[in-house]
Amino acid sequence: MTRWGVTDNPEAAYEMMDGWIEAQPSGIEGRRQMPHFTMTEEDKRGLAEFLRWTDQTDTLGWPPNDAG
């Protein structure tokens, strides 16, 4: 969530998560395929909120850079 700049904005976190899920490729020959997510809006909001919460975890400096 830090990478996407939405740690302090629950609605933006949801919109980012929803857009990311919807943009995943499927059925493109030669590309790795993401699983088809069958999630309700409530599921996606919960996932976005969980990821915002975990982003606040003190990782004692890990990873060593923003790219992981």
Q: What is the pLDDT of residue 46?
A: 96
d(CA 40, CA 38): 7
pTM equals: 0.70
- Give the C-alpha distances (Å, rounded to integers) separating 64 from 11, 42, 57, 60: 28, 33, 15, 10
Q: What is the pLDDT of residue 28?
A: 78
Residue-wise pLDDT for 6-62, tens only, equals 999 999 999 998 998 888 777 778 877 777 778 899 999 999 999 999 998 888 888
